[in-house]
């Protein structure tokens, strides 16, 4: 990166940590937390930091000017010691949702690869071999597009629902935040989870993702004599039973013939389900659609239920939650890939939360940048681009997003 761009990013990050210092709050039990910083220019991680008070934390942000700031989900007796000597006392339960783990159709349009050797680039997943120079190492650049951000938010909504409804966590112990890039974090801070080991946390991951879940153990089967009809879970059922019902409800409400064929149904059964859509809808007032269409077998309903599990399951990063020593991004700190900040918000506001408004950290100034290539993007209410090999003057927040992504350079 050019030093002009690098200096611009550094200046803006310094400004932010000076001016918005008061927005940086200490996590609970500050003395027990480990902190980590990624250094702006060198991109190396500085770990095993500890702070006595929030003022020390704030002033070190101004002095170090990190590209990214993290604190441990864990509590330690000695956070600044090496890993083995820290004295683990417990950890919050954390979840990370990232568009990288959600298959969105737009990824092939906006994600870029760049050859590490010659700089050749293209869209979507990188090729095996660079078509220009024949080398095999690539950097991938993902993009915080609106569709991907919406997809992440939908997962966060499902996760919060499972944590409150199935696990019974009160909203007081849950924190939801936009990560500042392409995802959401959910943080559970409660005595009841603190002591869980990695395996116990893995069990929670499996539950949330519906791994190994079979509908036959959740109410789907044949009823007893005399009719031997198919019966299944109800919308009012608790836990995964209710989720299987809800997934089935949602799917059959709008499914096209093609949707039904894609999950492995025979055309005759797909037609039959579509012809009975009104009856299916009506059936949820009683026992659900499971037994109402004569020749739709248990096997067919099982395929539908399996798909509904897939839809209801939450796509989380499976590595993060079981890690009892995980570092997580500090709220209101800047994300080094975007210049947006990580923002927490109330669960009640999740539906209307707009990350591209709430996470904007810079409101003043214009800067001229030379853009290599970016898709159309939005910051607050303004749409920019698409740009390709052109010089444009942009507001600081929009320019920073491109500069941090390495998709533009500051020009004089």
Residue 101 DSSP code: G
The Cα 157–Cα 155 span in angstroms is: 5
Cβ count within 10 A of residue 166: 15
Q: Select from 19-27, 88-96, 146-154, 316-324 the region that touches Zn ion (CB under 5 A).
A: 146-154
Helix (H) or strand (E) holding 326: none
- E strands of 159-236, at which residues? 174-178, 183-188, 221-222, 230-231
Shortest separation between residue 97's beta carbon and Zn ion, angstroms: 14
Containing H/E element for 95?
Answer: strand 93-98
Stretch that binds Zn ion, among 30-38, 134-142, 245-253, 375-383 (CB under 5 A): 134-142
The site map against Zn ion for 59-88 (x = CB under 5 A) is: ------------------------------
- Looking at 9, 148, 397, 399, which residue binds Zn ion (CB under 5 A)? 148
Q: Kindly state the number of chain residues that form the binding site for Zn ion, as judged by CB under 5 A.
A: 13
Residue 102 within binding range of Zn ion, rule CB under 5 A: no
Which range binds Zn ion by CB under 5 A, 73-81, 138-146, 289-297, 374-382? 138-146
DSSP letter assigned to residue 163: I
Encoded tokens for 230: 């198919």
Looking at 75-83, 142-150, 244-252, 334-342, which segment touches Zn ion (CB under 5 A)?
Answer: 142-150
Site map (CB under 5 A) of Zn ion, residues 103-122, x = contact? -x-x--------x-xx-x--
Distance of CA 166 to the CA centre of its chain: 20
Quick check: 336 and 38 in contact, CB under 8 A? Answer: yes
Which helix (H) or strand (E) covers residue 389, if one does?
Answer: strand 387-395
DSSP 249: H
Choices 129-137, 260-268, 289-297, 394-402 (CB under 5 A): range interacting with Zn ion: 129-137
Q: How many Cα atoms sit within 13 Å of 198 on the Cβ side?
A: 9
Q: Does the footprint of Zn ion cover residue 302 (CB under 5 A)? A: no
Q: Pick the closer one to Zn ion by CB: 121 or 272.
A: 121
Applying CB under 5 A, which of residues 45, 133, 281, 319 lies at the interface with Zn ion?
Answer: 133
Beta carbon of residue 268, minimum distance to Zn ion (angstroms, whole number): 37
Quote the CA–CA distance of 50 and 79 in Å, as a whole number. 6
Nearer to Zn ion, 247 or 375 (CB): 375
Helix segments in 80-126, DSSP class H: 107-110
Q: Which of 57, 112, 130, 340 binds Zn ion (CB under 5 A)?
A: 130
Helices and strands (H and E) in the chain: how many: 13, 20
CB of 260 to Zn ion, least distance (A): 26
Interaction site with Zn ion (CB under 5 A): 104, 106, 115, 117-118, 120, 130, 132-133, 135, 145, 147-148
């Amino acid at each position: 990166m050019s030093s002009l761009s690098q200096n611009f990013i550094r200046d803006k990050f310094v400004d932010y940590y000076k001016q918005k210092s008061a927005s940086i709050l200490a996590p609970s039990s500050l003395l027990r937390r480990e902190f980590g910083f990624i250094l702006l220019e060198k991109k190396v991680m500085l770990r095993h930091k500890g702070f006595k008070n929030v003022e020390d934390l704030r002033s070190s942000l101004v002095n170090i000017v990190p590209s990214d700031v993290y604190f441990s989900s864990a509590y330690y007796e000695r956070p600044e010691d090496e890993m083995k000597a820290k004295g683990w006392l417990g950890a919050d339960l954390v979840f990370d949702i990232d568009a990288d783990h959600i298959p969105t159709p737009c990824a092939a349009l906006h994600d870029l690869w760049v050859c590490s050797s010659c700089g050749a680039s293209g869209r979507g997943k990188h090729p095996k071999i660079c078509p220009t120079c024949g080398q095999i190492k690539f950097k991938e650049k993902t993009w915080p597009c609106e569709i991907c951000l919406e997809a992440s938010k939908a997962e966060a909504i499902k996760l919060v629902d499972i944590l409150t409804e199935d696990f019974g966590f009160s909203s007081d112990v849950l924190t939801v935040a936009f990560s500042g890039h392409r995802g959401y974090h959910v943080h559970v801070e409660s005595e009841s989870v603190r002591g869980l080991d990695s395996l116990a946390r893995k069990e929670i991951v499996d539950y949330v993702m519906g791994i190994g879940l079979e509908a036959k153990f959740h109410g789907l089967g044949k009823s007893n004599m005399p009719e031997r009809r198919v019966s299944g879970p109800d919308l009012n059922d608790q836990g995964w039973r209710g989720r299987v019902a809800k997934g089935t409800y949602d799917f059959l409400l709008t499914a096209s013939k093609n949707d039904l064929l894609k999950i492995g149904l025979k055309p005759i059964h797909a037609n039959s389900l579509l012809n009975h859509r009104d009856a299916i809808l009506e059936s949820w007032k009683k026992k659900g659609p499971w037994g109402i269409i004569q020749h739709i077998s248990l096997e067919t309903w099982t395929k539908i239920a399996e798909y509904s599990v897939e839809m209801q399951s939450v796509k989380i990063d499976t590595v993060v939650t079981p890690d009892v020593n995980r570092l997580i991004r500090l709220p209101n700190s800047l994300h080094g890939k975007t210049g947006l900040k990580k923002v927490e918000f109330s669960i009640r506001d999740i539906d209307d939360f707009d990350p591209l408004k709430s996470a904007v950290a810079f409101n003043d100034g214009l800067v001229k940048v030379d853009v290599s290539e970016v898709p159309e993007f939005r910051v607050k209410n303004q749409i920019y681009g698409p740009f390709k090999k052109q010089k444009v003057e942009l507001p600081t927040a929009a320019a920073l997003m491109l500069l941090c992504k390495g998709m533009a350079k500051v020009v004089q």
